[in-house]
């Protein structure tokens, strides 16, 4: 009897090939013109971002932590045991002065770009790969979704000015979805594992993606993703007593900012997290077990993705809810990850709906 995993892969290959056969002929005028749009868009997006890097000074302490974290790795040190200095006082997040709050692959990925002169080059590269992946993913609206991601002002700012560390995880989640759609699940699983070792919010996708693999009987891919992520994280976990405090527990122990307060570049800060709303209404914050309960209630109906399209949809919804529920303090950059997932979901090619476990 043939395995479910083998049948699933063959069905995937058949549906992908059928979709390609239905596409316009490669020599047609529409295809000939369209094939230049993405390269031109990527060049334009690169120019815009490099100009922003040259003209704008980073307005977030994240830039300084990531730069020093990469520098410490280059010197053979441990970013979780480093004393961070030189961060402008106006940018320091209260309570986070000596916390490297990111998972290790973020710093590892940024090392070559630090050596090239600026870690923002790595975030710009991530933007371009995400934009290209959305287009290559296929679908009726894939090019429009790609252009939206590449040129909406906030994505430009999050890779150059108000630095978003989640971009490192985002690029590998994008590659995970792209490789899966192309019938290359092992490369997809490797990309998933690296994303899980990059930023905490990517871990929210883990239960959905691993259940997706398990329902298809793709246990090798489950192993690849878990081993890849663990291989990056475990050395730092074993060498650093404060690793869990800095990367996980810190997020729940920091004081919650008010729903509305003064400060920031616009003079007013808004914290639309669930914790801030509860404090404003009732005078006390939500305990961690209450947040965990909310997360489990939301996760339960979303955990059984039947295909890649529903996996992107369910991941979008779960991450979107979680960025408001879990953190005590909300940062608008948190929305970039669910925004990217939503573009994959909404632009997904129809054939992905038929790639199911047989």
Is position 80 within any domain? yes
- How far apart CA 118 and CA 81 sit, in angstroms, is 22
In whole numbers, what is the pLDDT of the chain averaged over residues? 85
Contacts of 105 (CB under 8 A, 6+ apart): 168, 194, 197, 198, 232, 233
Question: What's the pLDDT tens digit per position in 62-89?
Answer: 999 999 999 999 999 999 988 888 888 8
Closest among 162, 168, 164, 165 to 194, alpha carbons compared: 168
Greater confidence (285 vs 100) lies with: 100
Read off the pLDDT of each residue in 31-59 and give the average, rounded to a whole number.
90
Residue 93 clears pLDDT 90, i.e. is over it: no
Coil vs helix vs strand at 260: strand
Is position 28 within any domain? no
Task: Provide the pLDDT for residue 7.
Answer: 52
- How far apart CA 155 and CA 330 sit, in angstroms, is 17
Is position 315 within any domain? yes
Question: What's the pLDDT tens digit per position in 270-309?
Answer: 778 888 888 878 877 788 888 899 999 999 999 888 888 8
**What are the beta bridge partners of residue 269?**
261
Residue 166 contacts residue 200 (beta carbons within 8 Å): no
| Residue bearing tokens 């948190």 | 334
Is position 101 within any domain? yes
Residue 150 contacts residue 343 (beta carbons within 8 Å): no
Task: Provide the pLDDT for residue 82.
Answer: 87
Please state, in angstroms and as integers, the Cα–Cα distance from residue 1 to each residue in 8, 159, 312, following that order.
14, 50, 31
Other Cβ atoms within 10 Å of 235 Cβ, number: 12
- How far apart CA 46 and CA 339 sit, in angstroms, is 20
Closest among 1, 18, 6 to 352, alpha carbons compared: 18
Is position 276 within any domain? no
Coil vs helix vs strand at 262: strand
| Residue bearing tokens 């529920």 | 325
Read off the pLDDT of each residue in 250-257 and give the average, rounded to a whole number.
70
Q: For residue 135, what are the domain limits?
A: 36-254+287-354
Residue 323 contacts residue 200 (beta carbons within 8 Å): no
- DSSP class of residue 353 equals G
> What's the whole-model pTM score?
0.86
Task: Provide the pLDDT for residue 83.
Answer: 87
Is position 271 within any domain? no
DSSP string, 243-265: HHIIIIIHHHHSPPPPSEEE-ST
Task: Provide the pLDDT for residue 43.
Answer: 97
Residue 178 clears pLDDT 90, i.e. is over it: yes
Residue 230 contacts residue 237 (beta carbons within 8 Å): no
Q: Which of 7-11, 112-116, 203-207, 295-299 bottoms out in mean pLDDT, i.e. has the lowest?
A: 7-11
Greater confidence (308 vs 189) lies with: 189
Question: What's the pLDDT tens digit per position in 111-154?
Answer: 999 999 999 999 999 999 999 999 999 878 889 999 999 999 99
> Rounded to the nearest 5 degrees, what angle is found at the Cα of 304, between the Cα atoms of 228 and 202?
35
Work out how many domains the chain is built from and give that number: 1
Is position 214 within any domain? yes
- DSSP class of residue 23 equals S
Specify the DSSP element, H or E, that contains 305.
none
Question: Count of H helices and E strands in the chain?
Answer: 18, 2
Is position 96 within any domain? yes
Greater confidence (139 vs 23) lies with: 139
Helices (H), 116-202: 120-136, 142-151, 153-160, 167-181, 185-196
């Amino acid at each position: 009897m043939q395995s479910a995993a083998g049948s699933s892969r063959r069905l995937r290959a058949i549906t992908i090939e059928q979709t390609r056969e239905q596409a316009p002929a490669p020599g047609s005028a529409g295809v000939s013109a369209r094939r230049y749009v993405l390269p031109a868009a990527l060049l334009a997006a690169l120019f815009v971002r490099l100009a922003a890097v040259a003209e704008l000074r980073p307005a977030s302490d994240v830039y300084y932590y990531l730069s020093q974290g990469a520098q410490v790795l280059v010197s053979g040190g441990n970013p979780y045991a480093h004393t961070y200095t030189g961060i402008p006082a106006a940018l320091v997040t209260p309570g986070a002065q000596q916390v490297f709050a990111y998972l290790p692959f973020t710093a590892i990925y940024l090392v070559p770009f630090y050596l090239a002169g600026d870690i923002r080059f790595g975030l710009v590269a991530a933007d371009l790969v995400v934009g290209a992946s959305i287009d290559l993913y296929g679908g009726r609206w894939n090019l429009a979704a790609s252009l939206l991601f590449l040129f909406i002002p906030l994505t430009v700012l999050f890779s150059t000015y108000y630095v978003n560390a989640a971009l490192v995880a985002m690029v590998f989640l994008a590659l995970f979805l792209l490789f899966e759609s192309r019938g290359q699940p092992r490369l997809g699983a490797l990309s998933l594992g690296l994303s899980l070792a990059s930023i905490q919010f990517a871990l929210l996708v883990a239960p959905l993606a691993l259940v997706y693999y398990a329902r298809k009987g793709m246990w090798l891919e489950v192993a690849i993703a878990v081993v890849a992520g663990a291989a990056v994280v475990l050395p730092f976990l074993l060498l650093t007593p404060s690793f869990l405090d800095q990367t996980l527990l810190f997020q729940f122990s920091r004081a919650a900012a008010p729903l509305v307060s003064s400060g920031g570049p616009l003079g007013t800060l808004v914290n639309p997290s669930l914790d801030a709303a509860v404090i404003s209404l009732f005078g006390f914050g939500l305990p961690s077990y209450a947040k965990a309960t909310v997360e489990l209630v939301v996760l339960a109906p979303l955990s059984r993705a039947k295909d890649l399209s529903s996996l992107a949809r369910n991941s979008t919804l779960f991450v979107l809810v979680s960025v408001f529920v879990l953190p005590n303090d909300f940062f608008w950059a948190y929305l970039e990850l669910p925004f990217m997932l939503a573009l994959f979901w909404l632009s997904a090619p129809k054939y992905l709906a038929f790639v199911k476990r047989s």
